[in-house]
Structure 1
Amino acid sequence: MRISKRCQYALRAVFELAWRNPGEPIKTHTIARAQGMSPRFTEIILNDLKHAGFVESQRGKEGGYMLARDAKDLTVGEVIEYVQGPIVLVPEAPQTRSQATFSGSQAFREFWKEVSSAVSRVCQTRTFADLVALEETQREQCVPNYAI
């Protein structure tokens, strides 16, 4: 499974909205700067996420983007599947006669299906609120050392 740059940007944009004050609009350039993304591409991604119902926008001087749902109700898997389709590690290929005869072919097919299912399950159960909590925990554990 390869996560496209577009999908990575979408995940990072949603994370940034979950990370900041919920319900408060965040400007595109603020999201782009915080996540190290191109402002123009961030705008395109956010508009796409808006059409999908993941984010809402507010116009005006105090406008920007915010999550359309609570971060605890929005999973990483939903965003991935919207942006790039089903979460599969190895696509099911039609089996040819020669592939069916090599030793272990059935075992490996079942193994990859199991791995793919596990990855999908994690993505479908991990919410953006979970990621925010994980980030907060990691930041608390990272104590800067100012000794020279």
Structure 2
Amino acid sequence: MLVTTAGRYALRALFDLAIHSNGKPVRIKDISTRQKISNRYLEQIFSKLFRAGLIRGRRGPSGGYVLAKEAQDITVADVVTAAEGSLQPAALTCITPDGDPSNGCELFEECMCRHVWNETRKVLFDYLNSVTLADLCNRASKKGNFSREACPGGQQMFRDS
């Protein structure tokens, strides 16, 4: 599976957001500066993350973004899927999440290789689905990069009102 810069940057940006929010909105400009990601590119990525329900935004002078869910409820798979659209290990028509054989591959029925790619997709997705933003925060804390309090495990900034 090839994760593009969109997927990698989305994960870095959400990790940054989790670490630096401290219950307050974080400006995209600040994330852009810390992560060395183009502001315009980050805005495009955040648009996808917003549509996927992973972040919420607030406009105005004290505006910015926060996680829409708790850090332990957002997996790496959620982030990469929102940014990339899919978690396929190969660009093959035989690999579909639902295993639909009507994909146009003329060797679909007799191809034994597709089983390898389908299993690879499953293993990859299961692993990425097992790692959360909170796990990344804990790992950073253990390395001494940030304090445990920096990553809000249970805080939601915006509540439906």
TM-score, shorter chain, exceeding 0.5: yes
Which segment is superposed worse, 46-55 or 25-34? 46-55
SS in 2 for 1:139: coil
For residues 8-60 of structure 1, what are the alpha-carbon distances to aligned partners after superposition, in whole Å with 9 as ceiling and x for unaligned?
22111111111123421111111011111011211222233223221111122
Q: Counterparts in 2 of 1:1-148, with a 5 A limit?
A: 1-90=1-90, 91-93=92-94, 94=105, 96=107, 100=110, 106=112, 108-139=113-144
For residues 50-103 of structure 1, what are the alpha-carbon distances to aligned partners after superposition, in whole Å with 9 as ceiling and x for unaligned?
232211111222211111111111111112222222312133533539xx5xxx
Q: Which runs of 4+ in 1 moved over 6 A?
A: none
Q: 1:52 and 1:116 mapped to 2: Cα distance?
A: 21
Decide whether aligned partners of structure 1 residues 86 and 51 sit closer, same or farther in structure 2, where only a CA change above 3 A counts.
closer
Unaligned 5+ runs, structure 2: 95-104, 146-161
Q: 1:43 and 1:96 mapped to 2: Cα distance?
A: 41
For residues 98-133 of structure 1, what are the alpha-carbon distances to aligned partners after superposition, in whole Å with 9 as ceiling and x for unaligned?
xx5xxxx63x44333323211110111211111111
For CA contacts below 8 A with separation 6 or more, give which structure has more relative contact order. 2
User: Quick check: 1:22–1:66 contact (8 Å CA) kept in 2?
Assistant: no
Residue 143 of structure 1 corresponds to none
Decide whether aligned partners of structure 1 residues 18 and 110 sit closer, same or farther in structure 2, where only a CA change above 3 A counts.
same
The residue type paired with residue 125 of structure 1 is S
Unaligned 5+ runs, structure 1: 141-148
SS in 2 for 1:115: helix
Decide whether aligned partners of structure 1 residues 45 and 85 sit closer, same or farther in structure 2, where only a CA change above 3 A counts.
closer
The residue type paired with residue 107 of structure 2 is T
In the superposition, the TM-score normalised over structure 1's length comes to 0.77
Overall identity of the aligned pairs, in %:
30
The residue type paired with residue 121 of structure 1 is D
Q: 1:52 and 1:111 mapped to 2: Cα distance?
A: 29
Q: How much is the aligned-residue C-alpha RMSD, in angstroms?
A: 2.3
More helix by share: 1
